[in-house]
Amino acid sequence: MDRRKKYTQSTLKECLVDLLKQKPITSITVKELCEAADVNRSTFYSHYDNHFDLLEKIGEDVIFDMEQALAEFNFGTERESLQMTERALQYIAEKYDVCEVLLSSHGDMNFKKRVMDLLLPVILKKFNAELHLKGKLSEYIPLLVISGSIAVIERWLENGRQETPEQIAALIHQFTNHGLVGDSPPLR
């Protein structure tokens, strides 16, 4: 892809994220987006079907980056699990604007599900290996862990990332590996 196309796509993505900070995707028009990006509509439509398609592409970029980060780690040890969680939180901090919008009510309602679908096999593998989950309700435990972790990340973003990515990673890691009253050291 040539530089002009990359620049145009990047500009459109940035402008959509900025607009989503103000209002939901359903209240944004392609015309408004094109005006904000200083791009004509035909150029927009040469890249995307509509603004929902653009939002989905933004989410796909984040999911792709997360997949790449997850592939770097082996979850065989608790230490690597913590390192992976820290890396994920560092990425979210770096992509703060995009992640905050995608996880907000103004963003892509399917994004959380896509994140859960990405993380579920990893968490299932970890829990099945360590806890040998069995029983009728065992399928809900990994979902509880993932949805709770996403809720923590959402609140962290809403609060302006007052804690470091490492602190939030430690909190998620503590809960995931030791529960609320585990035997690991208290969080700072």
Give the pLDDT band of residue 23 (cuts 50, 70, 90).
Answer: very high
Percent of the chain having pLDDT more than 90? Answer: 51
Residue 20 has pLDDT above 90, yes or no: yes
Task: Determine what percent of the chain is predicted with pLDDT higher than 70.
Answer: 84
The pLDDT confidence band at residue 1, using thresholds 50, 70 and 90, is low
* Long-range contacts, stretch 30-39, CB < 8 angstroms, 24+ apart: 37/8, 37/11, 37/12, 38/11, 39/8, 39/11, 39/12
- The tens digit of pLDDT for each residue in 133-175 reads 566 666 777 788 888 999 999 999 999 999 999 999 999 888 8
Q: Cα separation of 181 and 97, whole Å?
A: 33
Mean pLDDT of 104-118: 85
pLDDT at residue number 31: 96
Enter the pTM of the model.
0.82
Can you give the pLDDT at residue 77?
67
Across residues 88-101, what is the average pLDDT? 91
Is residue 132 predicted with pLDDT exceeding 60? Answer: no
Query: What does the pLDDT average to over 82-103?
Result: 90
Residue 24: pLDDT above 90? yes
Which of 29-33, 41-45, 182-186 is predicted with the least confidence, judged by mean pLDDT? 182-186
Q: What is the pLDDT of residue 182?
A: 55
Mean of pLDDT over the chain: 85
Domains along the chain? 3-178 (1.10.357.10)
Identify the three-state secondary structure at position 133. Answer: coil
Among 154, 173, 145, which Cα is nearest to 86's?
A: 173
Specify burial of residue 103 (Cβ count, 10 A radius: 0-12, 13-18, 19+): buried
Binned at pLDDT 50, 70 and 90, residue 52 comes out as: very high
